[in-house]
Structure 1
């Protein structure tokens, strides 16, 4: 099988083509107000029971950042030494290099490294190119190298770990913009990636508006309830809220409408 741009149009992928969506910018902007924990709760209620990438945590990013954007995917395979000459002969047709020249603003590069922690999936030069392309972030269930530099770059980077080795010491870049797994979660191109200090969740494109709507409402309610608990309300009355606090919340909402 050749290393090519695959999208969802390859053999067997047409089954899932309808799951690929195009989320509008307004919805993405609203998701900035939704925490990963809240998004997890909304997705769980919607039947998506395992949206969180296992072991993928923030390496870097601006203080208080949210990671949110559309997934652009890159899949690695385990190294097979006899294939390295073919990869090197391909030059910039290398799937990794191709993707990194195609991404742009609002994209999040999601790298499927199969949880491999014996090589970096990218280093400082490639990360610098992604920053120049104005990507919204980088997520991998593998490692990055040149971590001291990447931490100073100012863009959100989520990884499983760090490692000084180059990617081809243990991995082969194989395919981009196709379905991948990352941290045990299936990711389709165009899915929404949301990350903060709790980790990373994958929001199916068709559920993005629901997560924004329900998530913002949950954030608003929980902010109100936190204040009530700070002021002495018991957990029995406040979490979940009983009729008295629910009525108080509704009155507060009328006095403090959404802007």
Structure 2
């Protein structure tokens, strides 16, 4: 009932916003899903609840709060690399979002214009990474990009810079390049396919920290993102605490059962059962 009440309140707020807008304001464009801001303390507290949880546990937790299958990103969004020993490809974090769209700007310099000058201006004026100033420890960078195009919006330099700022992982519904180097850098990346082209002349930044869709799943800023070899799961913030509680119970029971099997088989205990 608590979750249903929250949903009804959200729907009421949205409907009120819609009917309060005049025609002129609607023509300018209106954002109808609000972006909620959370404090660092709130983010840290919720992330603590998700420490060590797997996608499978979280998916089961989503079932238990009445959202079966709702947060499961399409499996075409997969890890760029896997660490089967230390599992460093896994992460749990707080979403910040960016949306890139196909550009309608010219895809090449004007006659006589230097390519490097045109390229630099395109990055700065149209296809920037303005979202980087929002990155802090525990952040997941979630990028809704142009999946149909061959665009390497994410590469070995910028993903490492995001990691330096505190990002624990990156998720995109499109492409990335420099995949060999990213695997060596060990920055967790979940993506659709390899990309080669640069952003200038191909896409431009449409919005920052607004709702986006990744692999058929709505991601709002502040949602919890959990990723491992099973894929990516998005937990809406309003149910995150309950999902984490149920997921923890599931994980603890699983560890206990598998630990007993390990011991009966005289297998060495690993980090997944301790």
Per the shorter chain, which TM-score range? 0.7 to 0.9
What TM-score does the superposition give when structure 1 sets the normalisation length?
0.74
How far is 1:194 from its partner?
A: 0.7
Q: Structure 1 regions of 5+ residues with no counterpart?
A: 1-7, 233-259
1:141-220 counterparts in 2 under 5 A?
Answer: 141-168=173-200, 170-220=202-252
How far is 1:101 from its partner?
A: 3.4
Aligned-residue RMSD, C-alpha: 3.1
Report if the CA contact (8 A) 2:97-2:221 is conserved.
yes
Instruction: Give the whole-Å Cα distance in 2 for the aligned partners of 1:172 and 1:197.
Output: 31
Q: Structure 2 regions of 5+ residues with no counterpart?
A: 1-13, 18-28, 110-117, 265-274
Residue 49 of structure 2: aligned partner: 30
SS at match of 1:220: helix
Q: How many residues align?
A: 223
Report if the CA contact (8 A) 2:119-2:200 is conserved.
no
How far is 1:45 from its partner?
A: 2.7
Instruction: Call closer, same or farther: CA 1:117–1:90 in 2, change over 3 Å.
Output: closer
Residue 156 of structure 2: aligned partner: 124
How far is 1:97 from its partner?
A: 2.1
Residue 64 of structure 1: aligned partner: 87
How far is 1:35 from its partner?
A: 0.7
Instruction: Give the whole-Å Cα distance in 1 for the aligned partners of 2:158 and 2:168.
Output: 15
Residue 42 of structure 1: aligned partner: 61
